[in-house]
Amino acid sequence: MSDIFEGTVVWVFPDHFDVDLIIGIQNVRENDIDKIVPFCMSAYEPDWNAKVKPGDIIVAGRNFGYGHAHPQAMATMRKTGVNVVLAESFAPGFFRAEIGNGMVLLTVPGITGFTRRFDRLSVDFDSGMIRNLSQDATITGLAPGPMARSLVKGKGYRQFLLDEIGKL
């Protein structure tokens, strides 16, 4: 059975984006995510939190998430409702960490030219197929491997490990 995610492209990030900038570098050491949610994307769009909805999608260029692997920025994104990131490519450390947190990440070469902000997308995580419902077009990214699928379906490493221990 395939996991289909449908949502609106709420933001398109450029190439080589450091995700710490999502919450502001001054907030990367704060562990209480509720305290930093008001700062999420505020440097780019002051009323971000009023606009973002559960199920929204972000799109990014090449090397999304480079830099330090602070988990607070993407934890804040998940708290605001964003649970899917489609990017031309991901920084390897970022990819491992966020797949491990259960975030839906798909590498989709050409995605930044395929979609615009506020387009509605349907994302088939298992196959890597993305349908742009606003433009009636389709693009296929790299289908995730079995481990990535297990981690996302299990909502991250913690639940994955608990499920595996339960099989013993």
Q: Determine the structural domain holding residue 102 and report its residue range.
A: 4-166
Q: How far is the C-alpha of 145 from the C-alpha of 113, rounded, in Å?
A: 25
Structural domain total, the chain: 1
**Three-state DSSP string of the chain:** CCCEEEEEEEEEECCCCCHHHHCCHHHCCCCCHHHHHHHCCCCCCCCHHHHCCCCCEEEECCCECCCCCCCHHHHHHHHHCCCEEEECCECHHHHHHHHHCCCEEEECCCHHHHCCCCCEEEEECCCCEEEECCCCEEEECCCCCHHHHHHHHCCCHHHHHHHHHHCC
* Maximal C-alpha separation, the chain: 49
Question: What's the confidence (pLDDT) of residue 1?
Answer: 40
- The CATH number covering residue 145 comes to 3.20.19.10
pLDDT of the chain along its 168 residues, tens only?
A: 468 999 999 999 999 999 999 999 999 999 999 999 999 999 999 999 999 999 999 999 999 999 887 889 999 999 999 999 999 999 999 999 999 998 999 999 999 999 999 999 999 999 999 999 999 999 999 999 998 998 888 778 777 788 778 887
